[in-house]
Amino acid sequence: VIKCKAAVAWEAGKPLSLEEVEVAPPKAHEVRIKIVATAVCHTDAYTLSGADPEGCFPVILGHEGAGIVESVGEGVTKVKPGDTVIPLYIPQCGECKFCKNPKTNLCQKIRVTQGKGLMPDGTSRFTCKGKQVYHFMGTSTFSEYTVVADISVAKIDAAAPLDKVCLLGCGISTGYGAVVNTAKVEPGSTCAVFGLGGVGLAVIMGCKVAGASRIIGIDINKDKYAKAKEFGATECISPQDFKKPIQEVLVEMTDGGVDYSFECIGNVGVMRAALEACHKGWGVSVIVGVAAAGQEISTRPFQLVTGRTWKGTAFGGWKSVDNVPKLVTDYMSKKIKVDEFVTHTLPFDEINEAFELMHTGK
């Protein structure tokens, strides 16, 4: 058993608490990882808020991390102690019908236990002050050591800087993949990106890599425009600057609508606007943002009858074990940006400040 520091969420709506936790050794087909760096994501904040129906407390959150394998359980063959890895919230077992189908990346092998905050055998590896602490998204990266299933880990280039590539565990991969895998944006396309946070910037980067000729960023926070343009946005607009709905503005700006739109917020009203901003006959709108539980999307069926397509994506459609190492290689060879996404680097004990910076849009 390893004793180490972790940020524990004891209950919903309260700040994280830095505690000494005990991390049990990995059982069969499990891997214990020393986490070197982790990022914070709105998904962590969503669960912490208490709005997530799958949220269990007390829990160790975090799902964008990178580290070094400390030890492995029986039967683990793909990684060994000392390997550099990224934990994966969407695993890839290679055996379930989802993994065998090239059309999806949604491995279901450990979905049920992962959703309950437990390891595949139905138990937890974390204890704190004598209490069992739940896992989160199969990763729990807000701990100096974590235990994950062996199908939830990608071995990456040992030379990669972990304080950067941890972002490939969720946000950057999600936005970039939404463009190249889900939408399959073609050269010369016109694109609209709703929400210019980390995921939105990754979408812009993907659109630029795909050769889009016009990339319109949409956000009410104008402080985000300069960064969006650095990543490749050709122009940025705020819905608050217009008297009419933003979809009407975009349709006028683009002679009938955009070829591709991406919703990177998780707001059902914006999802509708993103679809309706698409061009009749061929426009494709991809939902990347995760809306709160129980919310529903709506539009007039005529929008779809007249040739628009509504799609969704999780983790950018990447089959994780196969593709995360390739994304790290693409970063190392400067094909994709990662460093530019990092705005602040804080010590672990300032994790609550990191959430504050995220909530204020900084």
174-216 pLDDT, tens digit each: 999 999 999 999 999 999 999 999 999 999 999 999 999 999 9
Question: With respect to CATH, is domain 2-169+319-360 assigned 3.90.180.10?
Answer: yes
Q: CATH number for 174-313: choose from 1.10.3720.10, 3.40.50.720, 3.40.1440.60, 3.90.1640.30.
A: 3.40.50.720
User: How far is CA 88 from its chain centroid?
Assistant: 10
86: which DSSP letter? E
One-letter amino acid for residue 138 of the chain: G
Q: Where do the domains of the chain lie?
A: 2-169+319-360, 174-313
Q: Are 114 and 88 in contact (CB under 8 A)?
A: no
Is it true that 2-169+319-360 and 174-313 share their CATH fold?
A: no
Q: Is the pTM of this model over 0.85?
A: yes
pLDDT digits (tens, 9 = 90+) for 245-257: 999 999 999 999 9
Across the chain, what does the average pLDDT equal? Answer: 97
One-letter amino acid for residue 201 of the chain: L
Residue 293 has pLDDT above 90, yes or no: no
pLDDT band (50, 70, 90) for residue 13: very high
- The confidence score (pLDDT) of residue 344 equals 96
pLDDT band (50, 70, 90) for residue 54: confident
- How far is CA 60 from each of CA 33, 45, 250, rounded to the nearest angstrom? 14, 12, 42
Neighbours of 155 (CB within 10 A): 17
